Chains A and B, each alone.
Chain A
Amino acid sequence: NAGVTQTPKFQVLKTGQSMTLQCAQDMNHEYMSWYRQDPGMGLRLIHYSVGAGITDQGEVPNGYNVSRSTTEDFPLRLLSAAPSQTSVYFCASSSRRGTKTQYFGPGTRLLVL
C-alpha cells in the first residue's frame, strides 16, 4: 500500500514549456485534489475531483489543467509554464464524505526559469 505517490520529486522548466505532474493513489479514494504551497501563503487549492470523470476548479486554477479518467490517477498539467508557477505542489486524496484524514503525497518542487 503506497498511499499517495507523486512524480517527479523535483523539476526545472523553462518559461513556456509544458509538463505533467503525476499523482496516483492506491486506496480507492473518490476525492483527489491538487494544492500549491508558496512561502507565507499556506496551501491553496488548484483543482479537485470528487470522482472519476468529474473535476472542478479550486482557488487558483489558471494555467493548470486536470483530468480524472481513473479513480487512481489525477495528473496536473501545466500548459505553458511561467515563473509565477514556481512552487511546491501537493496532491491529496480522501474517501467519500471527506473523512477525518486527507492523505498527502510527498510533494513536487517545481522551478520555472
Chain B
Amino acid sequence: AQKITQTQPGMFVQEKEAVTLDCTYDTSDPSYGLFWYKQPSSGEMIFLIYQGSYDQQNATEGRYSLNFQKARKSANLVISASQLGDSAMYFCAMREGPPDYKLSFGAGTTVTVRA
C-alpha cells in the first residue's frame, strides 16, 4: 500500500509567488516524522524541513513551512516568495517509529519557477 502520496506530478509557479505542494500519508504508528527533500537537476537530496507527529506547531525553515494536518494525514509544503533556484523535484517522506525507522518516499513533484 502506498504510504506517501504526492498527487501533483508537476507545477509551475511565478517568481516571488507562493506554491503549495501536497502530501498525504498513511500510517497507524502514533510516532512518525515527516520530511521534505529537494532534488535539483544536479541530483543530490537536500533536506528542507521536518515535522514530528507529536509536534504541536507547524514547522518552518526560512521560506519553507509545513502545513501539518494530523487528522487528515496531510503534510503540505509551502514555499513562499519562489525563486528561480527553487526549480527542482520535491519529495515528501515519512519515517515510522522504532525499531527500524524506515523512510518511505512519495513519487515527487516537479516545480518549475517562471521569471
Write the residues of chain A forming the contact surface with B, with a CB cutoff of 8 angstroms: 31, 33, 35, 40-45, 48, 50, 56, 58-59, 88, 90, 92, 94, 97-98, 100-102, 104, 106-107
Contact = CB atoms under 8 A, between A and B. Distances in A.
Given A42-B91, A102-B35, A106-B43, A31 B108 contact: no
Nearest to B92: A42
Contacts, number: 58
Given A42-B106, A43-B91, A104 B101 contact: no
Interface of B: 4, 6, 9, 33, 35, 43-45, 47, 50, 91, 93, 95, 98-108
25 contacts: A31-B101, A35-B105, A41-B107, A42-B4, A42-B91, A42-B105, A42-B106, A42-B107, A42-B108, A43-B105, A45-B104, A48-B102, A50-B99, A50-B101, A94-B101, A98-B103, A100-B33, A100-B35, A100-B50, A101-B47, A101-B50, A102-B95, A102-B103, A104-B45, A107-B43
